[in-house]
Amino acid sequence: MSPDATPDPYADPLTFGQRMQILRERRGMTRVVLAGLLGRSPEWVKQIEKGRLQAPGIDVVLAIAEALRVRDLADLTGRPDMHVDLFVGPGHPRLGAVRAAVDTLPLTTQRQAPPAAHLRARLARAWAARHSSPHHRQVLGELLPDLIRDAQLAARQAGQSSEWRAAQSALSEVYSLAQFFVAYQPDAALLWRVAERSMMAAQQSDDAHAVGVSAWLLAQAHRDSGPHHYDSADAVTRETLAYLEPLLPDANDDVLAIAGALEFEAGYTAARRGDAADAWRHWDTAERMAQRLPEDYFHPVTSFSRSIMGAHAVTVAVELHSGPESVRQAARADAGTIPSRPRRARHRIEEARGYQLDGQPDVALATLAQAHEAAPETIRYNGYARRIILEETESRVAARRRRAADLAVKVGVLAA
């Protein structure tokens, strides 16, 4: 091997510190940035990498793996018995309570379940709270445990077929709500349990809207799992749209909206593939469906509406890696018409990605600051936003570097 070549972090025998340094350098990350992510000093990072300090405990090792975006813990530790898939997002303090509610089955509970109408009213309040709160994960984390347990109990105790289907429909939507909380957190298995249980309950309910919502979220789970799952995402959207199509001529606004949301999801996946023609074709179809909705309509789960289509156009352009088109679509979209705070913040992040692609990092940082103002918890759990901020903390432009560092502290990417 040439003395100038980068060593292979998976070759033995490398120490933990050597692997950590190699993986950090391959990420293009300085010791200062890694130290900030870990809440440590750059000197501490150096001492670990040089083997002058003992390898840290498992909690710190997991934090290092997250900061370096290591997908398999064995890549960092060098231990073949530690092949653990990792997720790059931070875990919310309420994640454990939500997980416990999902995993606890009410097989021996004697408590009487609340009626389906009561669950529906609580669900409506929960969706409204999610859209209106800047700290939407905290809100959901507090509401979900009791809501999940009550919905599970209602489904178990339901009697006649109509009552049972109504309970299954409510249970499906509760799991869909839970998926918004679980997404981008360090428990991929929990995400899949929630997504699949939602779809199972929706099919049993025979509720077209519940099936559409579950499919919309299931397609996202597949797509976010990487290119090998794009075909599965397409299969979910295609099958569900075929199921909904005969209902659309007489459909109410909610069913029409979930069909439109699924149509856009098909375009989103096409954009991820790099298929511009297919992506924009699906967007055009979704736009026509949005125009059939009342001007002030806003779907309570997906945010699908007339006002969201501009944001969707930005997403398509960004996923196609077209900086100029992303900026053009961002100029046309009006974020102020999006009533949901987390969805508005998500749109701002997509705009920031577009500005970054277009070589406008200062505008990207300013747009991320707007995202933080709209919903801090949205940007905190978004990997794209975190990446842009971290990259600009290394900018050669001092003023930009300071702005990025200030935003990094606000978002929680770097320690104060």
pLDDT, tens digit, for every residue of 49-73?
998 988 888 778 877 887 787 767 7
How confident is the model over 225-261, as pLDDT tens digits? Answer: 888 899 999 999 999 999 999 999 999 999 999 999 9
> Which residue, of 173, 206, 239, is where some domain finishes?
206
Q: Are residues 107 and 188 in the same domain?
A: yes
Q: How confident is the model at residue 48 (pLDDT cuts 50, 70, 90)?
A: very high
**pLDDT value at position 55?**
80
- Contact status, residue 377 vs residue 135, Cβ threshold 8 Å: yes
Buried residues in 234-258 as b, exposed as e (16+ CB within 10 A): bebbeebbeebeeeeeebeebbbbb
Nearest to 354 by CA among 325, 378, 379, 383: 325
How confident is the model over 174-193, as pLDDT tens digits? Answer: 999 999 999 888 788 899 99
* 364 belongs to a structural domain: yes
Q: Are residues 48 and 137 in the same domain?
A: no
Strands (DSSP E) contained in 19-86 are none
Q: Are residues 73 and 117 in the same domain?
A: no
Average pLDDT over residues 155-179: 93
> Which residue, of 77, 105, 120, is where some domain finishes?
77
Q: Are residues 345 and 390 in the same domain?
A: yes
What is the Cα–Cα distance from 238 to 186, expressed in whole angstroms? Answer: 29
Structural domain total, the chain: 3
> Which residue, of 206, 228, 257, is where some domain finishes?
206
Q: What single letter denotes the amino acid at residue 222?
A: H
- Contact status, residue 6 vs residue 25, Cβ threshold 8 Å: yes
Instruction: For residue 310, give both structure tokens.
Output: 């501009």
What is the Cα–Cα distance from 220 to 269, expressed in whole angstroms? Answer: 9
Query: Three-state DSSP class for 294?
Result: coil
Q: Are residues 109 and 141 in the same domain?
A: yes
**pLDDT value at position 86?**
45
pLDDT higher at 194 or 416? 194
Q: Are residues 107 and 69 in the same domain?
A: no
Orientation angle between helical segments 188-205 and 161-182, nearest 10 degrees: 160
**pLDDT value at position 8?**
45
The DSSP bridge partners found for residue 72 are 85
What is the Cα–Cα distance from 304 to 287, expressed in whole angstroms? Answer: 10
**pLDDT value at position 414?**
58
Instruction: For residue 364, give both structure tokens.
Output: 């990207």
- Contact status, residue 223 vs residue 241, Cβ threshold 8 Å: no
CA dist 251 → 66, 91, 244 (Å): 45, 39, 9
What is the Cα–Cα distance from 312 to 329, expressed in whole angstroms? Answer: 9
Instruction: For residue 238, give both structure tokens.
Output: 């295609």
Q: Among positive and negative, which fits the CA dihedral 361, 362, 368, 374?
A: negative
- Contact status, residue 344 vs residue 335, Cβ threshold 8 Å: yes
Rounded to the nearest 5 percent, the helix, strand and coil shares of the chain are 70, 0, 30
How confident is the model over 329-340, as pLDDT tens digits? Answer: 999 998 888 999
Q: How confident is the model at residue 88 (pLDDT cuts 50, 70, 90)?
A: very low
* 175 belongs to a structural domain: yes
Instruction: For residue 250, give both structure tokens.
Output: 């007489």
Domain encompassing residue 402: 338-416
* 28 belongs to a structural domain: yes
User: Phi-psi region for residue 273, left (φ > 0), alpha (ψ -120 to 50) or beta?
Assistant: alpha
Query: Three-state DSSP class for 337?
Result: helix
Stated pTM of the model = 0.78
* 252 belongs to a structural domain: no
**Count of C-beta atoms within a 10 Å radius of residue 409:** 14
CA dist 85 → 27, 72, 235, 414 (Å): 18, 5, 25, 24
Orientation angle between helical segments 361-374 and 398-411, nearest 10 degrees: 20
What is the Cα–Cα distance from 311 to 307, expressed in whole angstroms? Answer: 8
